[in-house]
Amino acid sequence: MAGRSPDGTLGGMADSSFDIVSKIDRQEADNALNQARKEVEQRYDFKGTGASVEWSGESILIKANSEERAKAVLDVLQSKLIKRGISLKSLDSGEPQASGKEFRLVSTLKEGISSEDAKKISKIIRDEGPKSVKSQIQGDELRVQSKSRDDLQEVQRMLKAADLDVDLQFVNYR
Picking from 68, 69, 67, 41, the residue whose alpha carbon sits closest to that of residue 54 is 41
CA dihedral (80, 83, 88, 94) in degrees, to 10, reads: 0
* Residues 23-80 pLDDT 10s: 999 999 999 999 999 999 999 999 999 999 999 999 999 999 999 999 999 999 999 9
**pLDDT tier at 2 (50, 70, 90 boundaries)?**
very low
Asked if 155 contacts 133 with a C-beta cutoff of 8 angstroms, the reply is yes
pLDDT band at residue 15, thresholds of 50, 70 and 90? Answer: confident
Helix H segments across 47-148? 67-83, 115-128
Taking the C-alpha atoms of residue 112 and residue 108, their distance in angstroms, rounded to an integer, is 13
CA angle at residue 109 from 139 to 99, to 5 degrees?
A: 130
CA 65/CA 49 separation, integer angstroms: 5
Separation between Cα atoms, residue 34 and residue 89, nearest integer Å: 20
| pLDDT band (50, 70, 90) for residue 13 | low
CA distance 35 to 25: 16
